[in-house]
Amino acid sequence: MTSCGCLVVEKVEDHGGGVARGKGMAGCGCGFCAGERRFETMFPIYVMGSSRTRGLLDVAAGDPIWDDVKSEARSEAEKEPILSSFLYASVLSHDCLERALSFVLANRLEDPTLLATQLIDIFNDVMMNDVDIRRSIRLDAQAFKGRDPSCAQFSWALLYLKGYHALQSYRIAHVLWNQGRKVLALALQSRISEVFAVDIHPAAKIGEGILLDHGTGLVIGETAVVGNWVSLMQGVTLGGTGKEHGDRHPKIGQGALLGAGATILGNINVGEGAMIAAGSLVLKHVPPHSMAVGNPAKVVGYTEKEDPSLSMKHDARRDYFEQVAGSFSEDRSNGESPNLR
């Protein structure tokens, strides 16, 4: 633990000939410490790793999110005694966030032929042995609590929000897919779709600090890539354009915000920090930090300095309305109908 109270993680670098370890300030992104990356400041507890640097949870330093979850569960059990058994079974009987999450997901996804006890064993084995997932479930929890005003506590994401449940279930299926257990991964994908109304192919690549707000109707295809810190509203589709094989789905840049019902088709790029307005159909590349609106979508302006995925500002800015007004006037002067353009 640093002097500012943030968790220190251990940096691991594999150069092929062994593993070098060394504790530094990598685990703290607050203003008191050396980490100056923008997103580490937004998420000071658990730092994001890269392909060569992975954050290992420092057990000695504690687990602030898990501590909060347990405290919240105890408080809620006192306020609502009828939920005390549920809260004990889901949270208080477990020794870590991973095992509690395994229990919650298994009991949501079980069916008569795939029992909760079997799923718990699978989920525990994946999460307890995968550092990336252990970090991601916490960064995602921070994203839900930090960006969704209706998520007032970490425990609410763990226990009640199906967007969080669907995302963490996908993460488990993704690990199984990469391990070669593709049939089991596909079985989980099918069950996730049935239970949560969220369909994410287990081969898709999704970063950390993700918010699936509501989640209902979300579809992400096999070769889609979603960067870190992205926020996706309900009804978003990241799909292909036909029967072609290979790399055929969208690539979403870090910090992008995809509005409700947005449809993005084909192997195209949505740039870092871009905003896709609700209901838009995107068929072409979208530049970084731009705002695309309409069907088909057009770039109508540029986002503010802060990434829209963090601010969650869906409203169009003044320059959008100025452009729409200008286009309307131009169409009228040319004798064209703006609706047919």
| Percent helix / strand / coil, the chain, rounded to 5 | 40, 15, 45
Is 174 in contact with 125 (CB distance < 8 Å)? Answer: no
pLDDT given for residue 298 in this prediction: 95
Taking residues 232-246, what's their average pLDDT?
91
User: Residue length, the chain?
Assistant: 341
Query: CA 269, 215, 208 angle in degrees (round to 5)?
Result: 55
Is 255 in contact with 309 (CB distance < 8 Å)? Answer: yes
Neighbours of 303 (CB within 10 A): 21
pLDDT given for residue 38 in this prediction: 47
* Max Cα distance, the chain (Å): 72
What is the DSSP code (8-state) at residue 289? T
pLDDT digits (tens, 9 = 90+) for 315-338: 555 555 455 445 545 555 565 544
Task: Give per-residue burial for 317-330: e unless 16+ CB within 10 Å, then b.
Answer: eeebeebeeeeeee
pLDDT given for residue 327 in this prediction: 53
pLDDT given for residue 332 in this prediction: 52
pLDDT digits (tens, 9 = 90+) for 256-286: 999 999 999 999 999 999 999 999 999 999 9
pLDDT given for residue 245 in this prediction: 87
pLDDT given for residue 6 in this prediction: 42
Q: Which residue has the higher pLDDT, 43 or 135?
A: 135
- pTM attached to this predicted model: 0.78
Q: Which residue has the higher pLDDT, 43 or 226?
A: 226
pLDDT given for residue 312 in this prediction: 74
Is 91 in contact with 70 (CB distance < 8 Å)? Answer: yes
Is 21 in contact with 12 (CB distance < 8 Å)? Answer: yes
What the chain holds in terms of domains, given with CATH numbers, is 1-59 (no CATH), 63-200 (1.10.3130.10), 204-314 (2.160.10.10)
Q: Residue 279 to residues 144, 207, 310: CA-CA distances in angstroms?
A: 22, 24, 20
CA–CA distance, 191 with 20 (Å, rounded to integer): 41
Backbone phi, psi, residue 95, to 5°: -100, 0
Task: Using the structure block, give the residue that is written with the tokens 């059990």.
Answer: 77
pLDDT given for residue 330 in this prediction: 57
